[in-house]
Amino acid sequence: DIQLTQSPSSLAAFVGDRVTITCRASQNIKNYLNWYQQKSGKGPELLISLGSNLESGVPSRFSGSGSGTEFTLTISSLQPEDIATFYCQQSHSTPWTFGQGTKVEIK
């Protein structure tokens, strides 16, 4: 199985701050890496696919980058509505696996 390790596991930042979350894969997954946002009590929402493709309707302050084994999700200016847990997921090979999540809070 491909292991995904996210860091940090949690963070707190001010509104307007730039926030970066990292996801590292245990082997080369090319760009088959997707990012999700899960708000409290809700199902996950796909934000970014194939490493850097912003999904329709997702605010442009979200961006993704990386390939191979290291990937990054960036929120350019944190907003109160961004409070959630973020997960990476690899779609290179089954079994699909998720990172352990990064909880984002407002300071």
Partner 1 sequence: QVQLQESGPGLVKPSETLSLICSVSGGSVNSGSHYWNWIRQSPGKGLEWIGYVFYSGSISYSPSLKSRVTISVDTSMNQFSLKLSSVTAADTAVYFCARDRRNKTVGFHYGMDVWGHGTTVIVSS
Applying CB under 8 A, the residues found at the interface with partner 1 are 1, 32, 34, 36, 38, 42-46, 49-50, 53, 55, 87, 89, 91, 94-101
Q: How far is CA 52 from CA 13, 72, 74, 83, in A?
A: 23, 9, 10, 21
- Omega of the bond leading into 80 within 30 degrees of 0 (cis): no
Nearer to partner 1, 1 or 70 (CB): 1
Please report how close the Cβ of residue 96 comes to partner 1 at its closest, in angstroms: 4
Please report how close the Cβ of residue 28 comes to partner 1 at its closest, in angstroms: 14
Please report how close the Cβ of residue 14 comes to partner 1 at its closest, in angstroms: 26
Tokens describing residue 83: 């409070």
Return d(Cα 44, Cα 2) in angstroms, integer.
Answer: 21
Nearer to partner 1, 5 or 17 (CB): 5
State the DSSP code for 42.
Answer: S
